[in-house]
Amino acid sequence: MPDKQILFAPWRMAYIENSEKEESPCFLCRLDPAQPLAESLLIHKDERTLLLLNRYPYNPGHLLVAPVRHVALMGDLSPEEAMDLWKLQCKAVTLLEKAMSPQGFNLGINLGKVAGAGLPGHLHIHIVPRWNGDCNFMPVLGETKVIPQSLEETCRALRTCWEESSSW
């Protein structure tokens, strides 16, 4: 077997080093629209919900939709929070369709650490845009995922599309 090539992804170390630490308050609770773009990656925040770009994406445009209130379980959401969360999730899909033209989506919630939740204390929904052929040989053979656009550039484009949309 030939030697594997090394592809450095230093931004992943912050995730690895902090994955076991309990954040107080969690990063979703600390989000502030006034923060610099590179810090927050926030697309939208209102009274009950927030939408942001995932700092450790599976694909370009990987978004997180979450309640503003720190709540871990779906059953702990108020009816208003649940409705607003669903509405923002639908708007986020429309936003990605307009801004990035994906051919499909994966939407999911990881409830609890054993289910893969990296932040088990604050409920959040993953919205991952997908394109035909977006899973190539790199993750399979190279154990590496290639993201072709910077987070700041993706976030800027999504924010612009959000702000320009009159349908919200």
CA atoms within 13 A on the CB side of 70: 12
Q: Which letter does DSSP use for residue 167 in this model? A: -
On whether the CB atoms of residues 158 and 57 are closer than 8 A, the answer is: no
- 54 is annotated as contributing to ligand binding: yes
40 alpha carbon, distance to own chain's centre: 11
Mention every residue, 6+ apart, whose C-beta is less than 8 A from residue 145. 58, 138, 139
How many Å is the Cα radius of gyration of the chain?
Answer: 17
Strand pairing of 104-108 and 49-53?
A: unpaired
Q: Is 62 labeled as catalytic in the residue annotation?
A: no
- 126 is annotated as contributing to ligand binding: yes
Annotated binding-site ranges: 54, 126
Query: Active-site positions?
Result: 124
| Binding site members for substrate | 54, 126
